[in-house]
Structure 1
Amino acid sequence: MRRSSVGWVLGAGIFVAALAAQPADAQQRYPSSAGELAVETVASGLEHPWGLAFLPDGRMLVTERPGRIRIVGKDGRLSPAISGVPSVVARGQGGLLGLALDPAFAQNRLVYFSFSDARSGGNGTSVARGRLNEQGTALTEISVIFRQMPAVASNMHFGSRLVFDRTGALFVTVGDRYSQRDQAQNPANHIGKMIRIRPDGNVPADNPKKPGWAPEIWSIGHRNIQGAALHPQTGQLWTAEHAARGGDEINTPKAGLNYGWPVISYGIDYSGAKIGEGTAKPGLEQPLFYWDPSIAPSGATFYTGTAWPGWKNSLFVGALAGSMLVRFSIESEKVAGEERLLTHIGERIRDVVQGPDGLLYLLSDEANGKVLRVRPAR
């Protein structure tokens, strides 16, 4: 298990002091272990964008937290809001959140999205799917395939990343709702869990079958997973999870296992109080990596392109509080090194996706949010 802290030397040998010494005119050019990176704005004017997915023709679908899905053209122009999106509870951390295309989107045009919706007793994370019309203007045949239960009167910790695995099952991350963190250890409900369902909402036959576990639950003991991606070689799910003050984690959630929250944690509460029983306990999984202090990790992707050959199969994670992009070199199922990139970008990085051109695309979570493209500097 690796730990990251302030002042730690980056995995590529780049020092924090060296980054701080960059000239003022380098704000759009950033050092890295693979040479200078250029960051350019593809689109702006998005209100707190949250999830990004590339359509087969190279355009992008983007969710905005207030409740809109837009298409971003290759020229950066934003479409009007796509119709058919259900009403969302856009308060606090809630709203329209994660996004994924069906693996067979080219044939069925199905789009999956997560959102916070109102219920009796509060609200919760739901997942719906709909069919994008050929014109790209509307979602039709909307159906809700999952609702996190029970509802909670909270505007915090919705999780909300969506990832299809190689069998076609859908992983859904849901948070502990902040006020209900002890329920992350209760396998009978959806609070603080990793969910795995079929595209129609049914339960896969190979989900864990453990006494007392709800059938759609894959793993328990999670706080608030906001980054998730499949390893391109192994197909294993990797996640980036928010902790409180310190202790953000990288995990590889396995079927039927308990990842400890809030019994164990490498962080402390916002008040400064101790959380749980310490950092380890028999029967509870350890993270592969943790940050102290926290960076608030968000969207994640594995790199498989050719623009940076030395970064093949690296895991990239955006950071909100940290306002940067983090690259992990991976060896087997271990974190071999951390490299902090774009540390002076000044943007909360909500999502990171590899484009069909082999470059990296970022969403900045701001009132005037942007789609940013990262490429090798010429």
Structure 2
Amino acid sequence: MIYFDQAASSFPKPEGVAKAMAEAVSNYGANPGRGGHALSRQAAAVIEKTRKQLADMFHADRHERVLFSQNATTALNQAIQGLEFSEGDEVITTSYEHNSVRRPLERLAEEKGVKIIYLNGDGDGRISTEQLASALTSQTKLVAVTHGSNLTGTILPIENWGEVLKDHPAYFLVDASQTAGVLSINMKECHIDMLAFPGHKGLMGPQGTGVLIVQSSVTSLRPLITGGTGSHSEDVKQPEEWPAGWESGTLNTPGIAGLLKGIEEVLSKGTTLIYEHERKLAAYCIEKLEGINETELFGPGKEEERLGVVAFRIPGIDVHEMAMILDEHYGIAVRAGLHCSPLAHDSCGTGETGLVRVSFGTYNTEEEIDTFINAVREIKEGLLG
């Protein structure tokens, strides 16, 4: 199998990930923070080590504000729905957001009368800093944006957006689902208040892991889930202690142990090397697809800074049929459809058809792309002549 669906979940994982998870299950599968015995302490130590590693990696000001969750969707919901909103508050976001941002925001609009402002990008996903500056008002409570589009591969200049927002009271929430582990992200330098990302994509950890990092600038964040925290059991109310107050229930110790090994693999390679490899593969793929007549490509060109995500269609060929044939006849895994980003497709003019998306990771090669290109050519000739 040639796996070109890295934007959904990275695969394969580094060898150490599965070993660390098996070791957690077999050797110290106790409940972290729920007992004073040796196995509980060992599980808690692995979680604490991962928490500190993430704080260092993304320049969080307090490691105890690194919160573990099930995935990026859960982390984003905690960030968005945990803030206190009133009718008339405004949230600025973009038309290139994943539904994990859009749907929680639309719930705010429906239930609390919050105004959602979508900044529209061009067909390649670019949204200027000037658009943000023009949209800001005294009512803006939150700016929630994706760092990198899961459709076009466009990278948002969060450094510039952070400069615009650093003197504004609005919180800055960044969805780093496509960039954590691929691009260097400095929360302090970019003035990011909250950063959400999954463990199973660029950080090369297992599914079932996600993270929300909350800077000290966020003074009030209501936990979405309340319950057992392993301490303050005599209190009726949820403890306001980081991170326990925001991590009710048993954490996914095997998943977090695997995530730690994925992070260590990323750090050993370096995000610069990882990004350049994936960008090079994207550029190579774009160049080869451009050689197939009538192929329509979306996103930045092959010479531009972009993620390892390439979206395309061939008029006359249903994108789902293309993906199915690639899978069943060629053993190539891609993603077709709207990619949980319908507004992004509307901006690209592809809402009716969807697109085929190929996305690359650190273990993919140009030789795999050559095989993919030959398959696309054969499919086009077989279906269209």
TM-score by length of 1: 0.24
More strand by share: 1
* Bigger Rg, structure 1 or 2: 2
More helix by share: 2
Higher RCO (CA < 8 A, seq sep 6+): 2
